Chain A
Amino acid sequence: MKATWRLIKPSRRNLRAWQLVLLALLFLAWHVLTVPGLLPHFLFSDDNQAAFFFGQPLKVLDRIGHWFFVDADIYKHLVVTLWETVLAFGIGTVLGLGMGLWLALSPLAAAILDPYIKAMNAMPRVILAPIFAVWFGLGVASKVALGVTLVFFIVFFNVFQGVKEVSPVILANARMLGASRRQLLRHVYLPSATSWVFSSLHTAVGLAFVGAVVGEYLGSAQGVGYLILQAEGSFDIDTVMAGIVVLTVFALALDALVGRVEKALMKWQPQAAETEKL
């Protein structure tokens, strides 16, 4: 008894297992609470309503199975949504990085543009989606444009802050060692800002997805957002849920990818209580 407990007691070792158990429990609770007739209804006026409003996990999984394996018809939608997300993420990051570096290093330009940047950041940018649809049509471009406006500011503000927080001593030291302006940028400002950039990139991945899906939701002919919109039109909650699950999984995967790159690039950073096995 004791030995079994020691084995399953939550610890660093079986972290993953516990996370999976939690997921299974969530699905189980969802299942038990929504299958018509399994439990006496207590919140709704009849047995079928819980399933109508919340969907049923088995049907959701079945839907996902059909999308990926039986009908195999989600791929073209998924590819579109992922392509929009990656493009928005890439373009937004590069623009934010460039702009952040430029404005952090030229205080005068930053001072002039300051109110405009604040205004554009404060503006609820999702509302630009219909305008982008008019400008760029209902294809990929309008979704990318929306995603870029969301990603750009997150990255921009972090780079701006990161560059401003470069240690003045490290900077003075690099200058004394003979670094030119360009070398300072490459060898001091950029590496110093990377930890800020990566913390922003995790948020940015999610926002790139938001841009793509919201854009599709507002007007498109393909993409996962389009599938969700279609299903919603016919009150098919199971399909809506299935779309949400698929999007979440892919957002997680993209975030993990960013985490992987971060780990490789940030290996110089001290880990908490790092010890070396001899």
Chain B
Amino acid sequence: MTPAALSLEGVGCTFAARDGTPGFTAVRDVTLAVEAGEFVSIVGPTGCGKSTLLNMAAGLLAPSSGQVRVFGEPLAGLNRRAGYLFQAESLMPWRTAQGNVMAGLTFRGAGEADARALALQWLQRVGLAAFGDRYPHQLSGGMRKRVSLAQTLVLDPDIILMDEPFSALDIQTRQLMENEVLELWGGAAGKRPAGAAGGRKAVLFITHDLDEAIAMSDRVVILSAGPGSRVVGEFRIDLARPRDVAEVRSDPRFVQLHKAIWDVLREEVLAGYQQQLAKA
């Protein structure tokens, strides 16, 4: 059996407190694997440590316990095979759209001309070929996300980590982007020689939007309310691909899955809400 693209093995994360009090445990003992070419979503109430989990998968944060493996290899330092799509604005405002897309290529030692050409190609693919010389502040929120997407995908990572990338977008732009991501992800199968998973990338997608999670994923993992979150449920999404995120919502199977997952998630959301009230 080939090793999973990304596996978290009993990882926990406790943030050290400065004043000697016991630290804050964001996640506790989470075990989760993403197979090569699989699209996995993590849903959970706000503040449940979803982003912490993703940061550990990226190697930006070292787990306090447990271990992260990337294609079977224990992860030390940054995860070089992963691309990360952040929730917040992550483009360098002092670089043009094209400059941003080619940044990763030049960081990794590609020639200026090659990087420029490849960046333009990816800008075309996300529909922004005419905007290459614009600075981020001259683009709309949706366009900036597309540039971020191109910036990540141009490096051809085997694993894509996404942290609520579309949460700041309006609902129409959001659905458009979701479909685009699915197309880019699914389309990779045809463009590359078929490997074990058809050249598709492994995706770990974090969201608080259950509809989005079900519409896009192969599998949805539910995280409990924090602190000390753990996995409390896992659902395989057996909807046919390719999907349209807007249309798939009226599929009877979608409704069924939504109800089943929401039954588990609701309690966690309520628990998280109670905790926030208690703190306030």
Contacts and interface: CB of A to CB of B under 8 A. Distances in A.
Interface in B85-125: 86, 88-96, 103-104, 107-108
A176 B94 contact: no
A178 B89 contact: no
Nearest to A194: B94
A188 interface: yes
A4 B107 CA distance: 60
A179 B107 contact: yes
Given A172-B60, A172-B84, A177-B103, A188 B78 contact: no
8 contacts: A167-B89, A169-B88, A172-B90, A178-B108, A187-B107, A268-B95, A269-B137, A270-B135
A170 interface: yes
B7 interface: no
B107 A178 contact: yes
B36 interface: no
B84 A191 contact: no
B82 A176 contact: yes
A170 B92 contact: yes
A175 interface: yes
A183 B82 CA distance: 19
B103 A176 contact: no
A176 B58 CA distance: 8
A173 B91 CA distance: 8
B151 A177 contact: yes
B191 to A, nearest CB: 22
Interface of B: 58, 60, 78, 80, 82-84, 86, 88-96, 103-104, 107-108, 135, 137-138, 151-152, 155
B135 A177 contact: no
A188 B84 contact: no
A180 interface: yes
A88 to B, nearest CB: 28
Contact of B94 (A172, A175, A179, A268): A268
Given A177-B155, A178-B108, A269 B83 contact: no
Interface of A: 167, 169-170, 172-180, 183, 187-188, 191-192, 194, 267-270, 274
Nearest to A176: B84
Given A173-B90, A188-B92, A178 B104 contact: yes
B104 A175 contact: no
Dominant secondary structure at the A interface:
helix
Given A268-B94, A268-B95, A177 B86 contact: no
Contacts of A179: 103, 107
B155 A173 contact: no
Contact of A173 (B84, B94, B96, B138): B84
Contacts of B82: 176
Contact of B92 (A175, A191, A269): A191
B90 A169 contact: yes
A178 B92 contact: no
A169 B86 contact: yes
A270 B136 CA distance: 9
Contacts of B94: 191-192, 194, 268
Nearest 6 A-B pairs (CB), nearest first?
Answer: A177-B104, A173-B90, A270-B137, A191-B94, A178-B107, A176-B84
B58 to A, nearest CB: 6
Given A176-B82, A268-B94, 10 more contacts: A167-B88, A169-B88, A169-B89, A169-B90, A173-B90, A178-B107, A178-B155, A180-B107, A187-B92, A188-B92
A183 B107 contact: yes
Given A178-B155, A268-B94, A269-B93, A172 B103 contact: no
Nearest to B90: A173
Given A183-B107, A187-B103, A268-B135, A175 B78 contact: yes
A175 B61 CA distance: 12
A174 B58 contact: no
Nearest to B154: A177
Contacts of A178: 80, 104, 107-108, 155
A167 B91 CA distance: 10
Contacts of A177: 103-104, 107, 151-152, 155
B86 A172 contact: yes
A110 B104 CA distance: 31
A258 B58 CA distance: 42
Nearest to A168: B88
